[in-house]
A = this chain, B = another copy of it.
Amino acid sequence: MAGSILRSFAGVFPYLVSPIGTDGTVLETPLRALCEHLIGAGVHGLTPLGSTGEFAYLNAAQRREIVRITVEQTAGRVPVIAGVAATTTADAVAQARDYAGLGADGILALMEAYFPIAEAGVVDYFTAVANATGLPVVLYTNPNFQRSDLSLPAIEALSRPPHIVAIKDASTNTGRLLSILNRVEGRLDVFAASAHIPAAVMLIGGVGWMAGPACIIPAQSVRLYDLCRAGDWAAALPLQRRLWRMNELFAAHSLAACIKGALQMQGFAVGDPLPPQAPLSPSGREAVAAALASLAPGEAG
């Protein structure tokens, strides 16, 4: 039943990359292999079509295919929270219904904007997405790349519809997460993003993180999560400090290029970001390789 599904949204949810061939076809084999690998490493869920998933660079058919394959390969072992992103309410509602029909377990909802949108319009948009299906919805706000942000009053308003269960804030402002937690009084769970320190967000009451780096260091991410959950901060912090290096790389390079490049090094033929995005630069590859080596499970343990 719904309650138990909602409970299950906690832990490490890697943002999946979207492997696309140079002719625009979705590369099914590496996507399935990546899902298997991550589930095998113990992640608590999968999130296709986040920022790292290049949703903004995919057409409707490509997006749908990514969700379809991810849900099918996951086969219910962990929840799949599919990203819905649109400029119009109508498009967002259509996407949410489509992904629900494909078997997604939740919706990660974000709003794209070209013109500034009044707050009432923003609240209407997310409410419509929440009402579109019976699925739990995670709000996603990323002021670095989107042209809109969710104000605290808007977040408070959006904490009321029962289907909206969590928020993932991808600002760099960790204090804002504590303000959200104080405001919503348990009605929304809070997930960290790659710009926040996961352990710090867990300390203040977060339930996990949705982030691109977990794609390439899944086992270490799960270990960090387990230590935080157990309140073993003394053990968590040294690991967190080492893993932070990957978040720094992620911020210094283009998200999709960084994760796709790292996955290629790990043997997943996920291709490059869609042009005109550039693939990971040679210096970026070198930095990522060095970071991966230093964070190998044996090293970072």
Residues on A lying within 8 angstroms of B by beta carbon are 24, 51, 54, 56-57, 59-60, 87-91, 111-112, 114-118, 120-122, 124-125, 145, 147, 172-176, 178-179, 181-182, 195-197, 199-200, 203-205, 231, 233-234, 237, 240-241, 244-245, 247-248, 254-256, 274-278
- Taken together, the copies of this chain in the complex come to 4
Q: Once the chains bind, are A174 and B203 in contact (CB under 8 Å)?
A: no
Q: Once the chains bind, are B237 and A203 in contact (CB under 8 Å)?
A: yes
Which 10 residue pairs of A and B lie closest in terms of their CB atoms, listed nearest first? A121-B276, A56-B114, A174-B174, A172-B173, A200-B200, A125-B276, A89-B275, A88-B274, A57-B87, A115-B254
A56-B87, A115-B145, A172-B175 known; 8 other A-B pairs, CB under 8 Å?
A51-B114, A56-B112, A114-B145, A117-B278, A172-B172, A178-B240, A182-B245, A203-B233
Q: Which of A54, A90, A175, A231 is most buried by chain B, counting CB atoms within 10 A of its CB? A: A175
Contact residues in B for A247 (Cβ distance below 8 Å): 175
Task: Determine the distance from Cα of A59 to Cα of B255 in the docked complex, in whole angstroms.
Answer: 26
**Chain B nearest Cβ from A129, distance in angstroms:** 11
